[in-house]
Amino acid sequence: MLLPLLTQALIANAKSPLPVRRVLGIWCLFLLCLAALLVPSVEAADDAAEYQKKLKALQSNIEQLKKELNDVKDQRGQLQQDLEQSETKIGELEEKVETINDEIKTQDADLQSLQQQQRTLEGNRQVQRTQIASQVRNAYRSGPQSPLRLLLNQQSPERITRLSKYHDYLLATRNDKLKSYVATLEKLSQLKPQIIAQRDGLHEQRKQLSARQRQLTEQQKARTSTLAKLAQVIDNKDAQLVAERQDGKRLQALLDEMTTSIGQAAPAGTAFSRLRGQLPWPTDGKLRHRYGSDRVGNQLAWEGIVIDASTGTPVQAVHSGHVIFAEYLRGHGLLIIVDHGEGYMSLYAHNQTLLKRPGDPVRGGEIIARVGDSGGQSYSGLYFEIRHNGQPTNPSTWLGRA
């Protein structure tokens, strides 16, 4: 609006000079408004760059922190290290198996499309061949219909002209059909190598899939063996309580580092604090453990909720934000943490596979992982927390009705 107004003022000034102050005032107003429009975008870019810088520093700090937290020399520590290796490898293999399966589906669909094209072209070829054969037979029966022959047969000039045009039309039609037939043969000759290559590619993908599945079976056996040994070490409630408290301290140390490094980041989209009771559930399933319910012998309570769900069930981010952690954490398995700004974070633990990496932006409802039993769980399900400034808050008050 201001630019047209300024232009009109300058044109008017050229015809009937305006006071210099008025023109300068319009210019100043325009420049101030332009600056007001540009400042937020510049500030947003600066904030994004600063956030990414903090994330990078956080990743370095987390690596150092994990080394300190995992430096346990007892038998349980060694077994957990073995379990981490097995479950991390299982997660990677599951992701590769899923990727290969998707590629096989795509290639199989492409192969079916090529084969359908081949069937269509073969049908066209048969029709065209029949039509050409019919035209050749008809031409042979009728013999040459030259204008001289028609004239010697004492045909009228009008009939000679009409028959000549008809004869030319038949010749042109025959030529067109011959060209179409040749084009069909060329397409078929080009299509056959594509089909062979597609079949070979599918065969190779299926070989890779079988190899990955064998590796997966071996890793699952190793995990089962390690879990059995861990069960012997943690054979009573006292030992279980010690183990659970160590796992809780490990997670709290990680969250404290995140809170300190990231701080009160600006929210991505709608402020998380305004969405109490409106967030979607992170996965489909039944509630197994409630927030605050007994965890180990009335001495430890759940700081989140556990949702029973089948292995491989999609896990979705409950709100937009940035992934700030996506790897294995002892006691929690394959864990993904999303920062939503304002000090709010959501945690998704015991996954089978992680589909996002640290620094990735996510939207509310976007699939970020798949449900599993990593972290030494005896059942498949998702452990979910919401934290504010590093402290747990009841997720049920934030989630909408299931």
Residue 93 placed within a domain: no
Looking at residue 10, its pLDDT comes to 44
- 286: number of Cβ within 10 Å: 10
Asked whether residue 171 carries a pLDDT value surpassing 80, the answer given is no
Residues 323/357, Cβ–Cβ less than 8 Å: yes
- What is the reported pTM? 0.64
Res. 330: pLDDT tops 70: yes
Q: What is the pLDDT of residue 3?
A: 47
Q: Which helix (H) or strand (E) holds 305?
A: strand 305-308
Q: Where does a domain end: 179, 213, 230?
A: 230
* 261 CB-near residues (< 8 Å, 6+ apart): 54, 57, 58, 61
Choose the weakest-confidence range: 8-22, 41-55, 239-253, 256-270: 8-22
Residue 195's domain comprises 101-230
Tokens (6 digits) for 39: 């400042």
Band (93; pLDDT cuts 50, 70, 90): confident
Per-residue model confidence as pLDDT tens digits over 280-329: 999 999 999 999 998 877 778 899 999 999 999 999 999 999 999 999 98
pLDDT over 70 percentage in the chain: 71
User: Based on the domain organization, do 251 and 365 belong to the same domain?
Assistant: yes
* 245 and 390 part of one domain: yes
Mean predicted confidence (pLDDT) in 242-271: 80
In this predicted model, which residue has the larger pLDDT, 323 or 134? 323
Assigned domain for 275 exists: yes
Is residue 86 in some structural domain?
no
Asked if residue 310 and residue 266 are part of one domain, the reply reads: yes
Q: What is the pLDDT of residue 36?
A: 56
User: Has residue 166 got a pLDDT over 60?
Assistant: no
Residue 154 confidence (pLDDT) above 80: no
CA distance 107 to 236: 52
Same domain? 51 vs 186: no
Residues 255 and 297 in one domain: yes
Tokens linked to 276: 């109490």
- Answer with the residue of higher pLDDT: 314 or 71: 314
Residues 327 and 385 in one domain: yes
**Residues 240 and 208 occupy one common structural domain:** no
Name the domain count of the chain.
3
At which of 230, 260, 279 does a domain end? 230
| Residue 89 within any structural domain of the chain | no
Give just the sign of the alpha carbon dihedral 273, 276, 278, 280: positive
Within-domain flag for 92: no
Q: Are 159 and 257 contained in the same domain? A: no
Residue 23 within any structural domain of the chain: yes
Specify whether 196 is located in the same domain as 182: yes
* CATH number for position 283: 2.70.70.10
Q: Are residues 366 and 285 in the same domain?
A: yes
Q: Say what the alpha-carbon torsion angle 256, 388, 338, 263 is, to the nearest 10 degrees.
A: -60
Give yes or no: residues 271 and 335 share one domain: yes
Q: Does residue 364 fall inside a structural domain? A: yes
> What pLDDT score does 150 carry?
47
The confidence band for 395, taking pLDDT boundaries of 50, 70 and 90, is very high
How many Å separate Cα 239 from the centre of its chain?
41
Q: What is the pLDDT of residues 193-251, one digit of tens each?
A: 888 888 888 788 888 878 887 887 888 788 878 878 877 766 666 777 777 888 888 88
Highest mean pLDDT among 16-20, 52-56, 323-327: 323-327
| Residue-level pLDDT at 62 | 79
Q: Which of 52-56, 145-149, 284-288 has the lowest mean pLDDT?
A: 145-149
Residue 383 located in a structural domain: yes
- My answer on whether 238 and 373 are in the same domain is yes
- 352, 88 in Cβ contact below 8 A? no
Boundary-marking domain end, from 203, 230, 257: 230
